[in-house]
Amino acid sequence: MSLQQIDAKMLSKMFLAGAKNLENKKEWINELNVFPVPDGDTGTNMTMTIMSAAKELSALGEDANMEAICKAVSSGSLRGARGNSGVILSQLFRGFTKRIKEEKFLTIPVIAEAFDKAVETAYKAVMKPKEGTILTVARGAADKAMELSEDGCEDMETFLSTVIEHGRYVLSQTPEMLPVLKQAGVVDSGGQGLVEVLAGAFDAYMGREVSLDFKAAGMGAQEAASVSGQEEADIKFGYCTEFIIMLDKAFNSKAEMDFKSYLESIGDSIVCVADEDVVKVHVHTNDPGLAIQRALTYGALSNMKIDNMRLEHREKLFKMAEKAAGSEQKKEPPKDFGFIAVSAGYGMGEIFRSLGVDHIIEGGQTMNPSTADILEAVDKVNARTVFILPNNKNIILAANQAAELTTEKDLFVIPTKTIPQGITAVINFVPEMSADENEENMIQEIAKVKTGQITYAVRDTVIDDKEIKKGDYMGIGDAGILSVGSTVNGVAKETLERMVTDESELISIYYGSEVQKGDAEAFKAQVEKSCPDCDVELQYGGQPIYYYVMSVE
């Protein structure tokens, strides 16, 4: 291989190095969050996304060809995608690998075209692309790559370094494109994450070796759970069996159902998630060979792992499988409609359950569920049509991605950005209406909900012309900062005053895990006195980070 070309082995090293560099910088990237709240998670989301791909890639070994590498990167990042930044990163990888998967060597023109395809794919995944974000940085790098290629650049080192430096320049300009970044004194965190991936990849190209520690990167918690105290007699099926099927024939919804039914006949704790060209399988069985033989009828196998749980007195399974243990398809006929809500806090979960929500995904700020987490939840809901309530703007893209990957059920993503919007959506569901009619109705109703959230600042900054000091309390509304002050109740009261109008009828207050019930009741009494024309409801939410989540309708 000429130094001016990149083969599969070098590409694999570059990708893993990019993942490692991002992992090293994730906490710093988290701190670039525009709002100085204790929930900046862009670095974590992007790291979990790329590490999901890196783990699949690492399992292939050093002799993997370009096509296998591309499948591992695309499929792994797609399933592990968390948050908007993670989903966009996965789409960049998806587009890039589509262009290069049939190449033996990557030349400058091929890489330039792959950058262009990556940007095209990522922009298509975002309904309303915003400039000054990771998308802008990616497009800037792609434009520079194409420019260098068309100008006849022949030196790979010069090409890669110039593209990355231009990406850094575009990143430095993001505060000029988004005033909120300029006010906060930060560059776009997602764009910074992308630059770190590219920089790490370039380090590997230049010969600087790296190694990945998946547990240090946060993957260990997803990988295994100890049950050392479990007696052998308690284990019905003794072998934890995992593998990925690299499909070589059509795997439609009927084939998927048939395969799942077969797995259920030989074991339990089944997870079977299908993508366009791969199927991820997990099953506990007493005869792993039967599962493997049937899987081989669909394609070649990779990432195989079999653990003897009786011998080792423990299970080793992915988080997806751990959550899904004992969740075989119900035998009774599916109902027409089901609901999934993303929520953090015991009280919030109980509120959603009382309203008829079938499944709660624990998550929200700092805990954005992945596409795979959402797919797993969908599989658990025994309904023909499932409505998903993300309840956070940073989860909507992952939910949409899950909807695109689901074939057996109709999935409707109601774009709820806050918990109160999610509650309103469920309340306004009408069983007698069609799914399309309910979708339209719920979207109309959530638009009427104003939300305010009270938390604290983790650094000094200026936002919306408000000077904020570390430790201040902040009231964050749908469109920005509504109040800053030194007391929780004072900020909460001012936040509500800015939300309530003459047309307002209902105020709902959900107090968090760090608020005492007596303090919350005293705050409610204050609100009732200052807003006599509104009904005021107080409920325990138990949510972390936010002292109060409040809505006005």
Residue-wise pLDDT for 326-352, tens only, equals 344 445 788 999 999 998 888 888 889
Predicted local confidence at residue 160, as pLDDT: 95
CB 414 within 8 A of CB 389: yes
Looking at the fold, whether 291 and 189 belong to one and the same domain comes out as no
Average pLDDT over residues 143-167: 94
Residue 316 CB coordination number (10 Å): 18
Is residue 222 domain-resident?
no
CATH number at residue 466: 3.30.1180.10
Is residue 421 domain-resident?
yes
Residue-wise pLDDT for 379-400, tens only, equals 889 999 999 999 988 899 889 9
The residue out of 446, 471, 502 marking a domain boundary is: 446
Nearest to 171 by CA among 150, 144, 203, 148: 144
Predicted local confidence at residue 234, as pLDDT: 47
Helices 66-80 and 8-30, packing angle to 10 deg: 20
Residue 401 structural domain: 335-446
Is residue 398 domain-resident?
yes
Looking at the fold, whether 49 and 189 belong to one and the same domain comes out as yes
Looking at the fold, whether 24 and 161 belong to one and the same domain comes out as yes
Nearest to 126 by CA among 311, 396, 429, 335: 396
* pLDDT tops 50 at residue 536: yes
Looking at the fold, whether 297 and 341 belong to one and the same domain comes out as no
The residue out of 263, 297, 324 marking a domain boundary is: 324
Is residue 220 domain-resident?
no
Average pLDDT over residues 227-237: 45
Residue-wise pLDDT for 8-26, tens only, equals 999 999 999 999 999 888 8
3-state class of 390 per DSSP?
Answer: coil
Q: How far apart are CA 454 and CA 37, in angstroms?
A: 10
E strand or H helix that includes residue 536: strand 535-540
* pLDDT tops 80 at residue 219: no
Residue-wise pLDDT for 134-144, tens only, equals 999 999 999 99
Residue-wise pLDDT for 77-134, tens only, equals 888 888 788 888 998 999 999 999 999 999 999 999 999 999 998 888 776 778 899 9
Predicted local confidence at residue 297, as pLDDT: 87
Lowest model confidence (mean pLDDT) among 215-219, 297-301, 351-355, 528-532: 215-219
Looking at the fold, whether 244 and 196 belong to one and the same domain comes out as no
Task: Determine the residue type at 473.
Answer: Y
Looking at the fold, whether 438 and 469 belong to one and the same domain comes out as no
Is residue 229 domain-resident?
no
Q: How far is CA 184 from CA 27, 174, 189, in A?
A: 18, 12, 12
Phi, psi of 418 (to 5 degrees): -140, 160
Please give the full DSSP string across 81-124, using - where no structure is assigned.
-BHHHHHHHHHHHHHHHHHHTT-SSB-HHHHHHHHHHHHHHHHH
Looking at the fold, whether 431 and 531 belong to one and the same domain comes out as no
The residue out of 302, 324, 346 marking a domain boundary is: 324
Lowest model confidence (mean pLDDT) among 179-183, 287-291, 315-319, 440-444: 315-319
Is residue 86 domain-resident?
yes
CB 204 within 8 A of CB 14: yes
Q: Over the Cα atoms of the chain, what is R_g? A: 25
Nearest to 138 by CA among 170, 165, 182: 170
Looking at the fold, whether 161 and 37 belong to one and the same domain comes out as yes
Task: Name the pTM for this structure.
Answer: 0.65
Helices 108-125 and 134-150, packing angle to 10 deg: 150
CATH number at residue 361: 3.40.50.510
Band (pLDDT 50/70/90 cuts) for residue 155 is: very high
CB 362 within 8 A of CB 304: no
Is residue 230 domain-resident?
no
Looking at the fold, whether 89 and 187 belong to one and the same domain comes out as yes
| Residue 268 bridge partners (DSSP) | 284
Q: How many domains does the chain have?
A: 4
Looking at the fold, whether 143 and 103 belong to one and the same domain comes out as yes
**pLDDT, mean over the chain:** 83
Q: Which residue has the tokens 């012309």?
A: 465
Q: How far apart are CA 225 and CA 166, in angstroms?
A: 44
Band (pLDDT 50/70/90 cuts) for residue 419 is: very high
Is residue 281 domain-resident?
yes
Band (pLDDT 50/70/90 cuts) for residue 322 is: very low
CATH number at residue 67: 1.25.40.340
CB 415 within 8 A of CB 390: yes
Predicted local confidence at residue 309, as pLDDT: 63
Looking at the fold, whether 442 and 461 belong to one and the same domain comes out as no
Looking at the fold, whether 91 and 16 belong to one and the same domain comes out as yes
| Residue 169 in tokens | 């320049």
3-state class of 23 per DSSP?
Answer: helix
Q: How far apart are CA 430 and CA 423, in angstroms?
A: 14
CB 239 within 8 A of CB 315: no
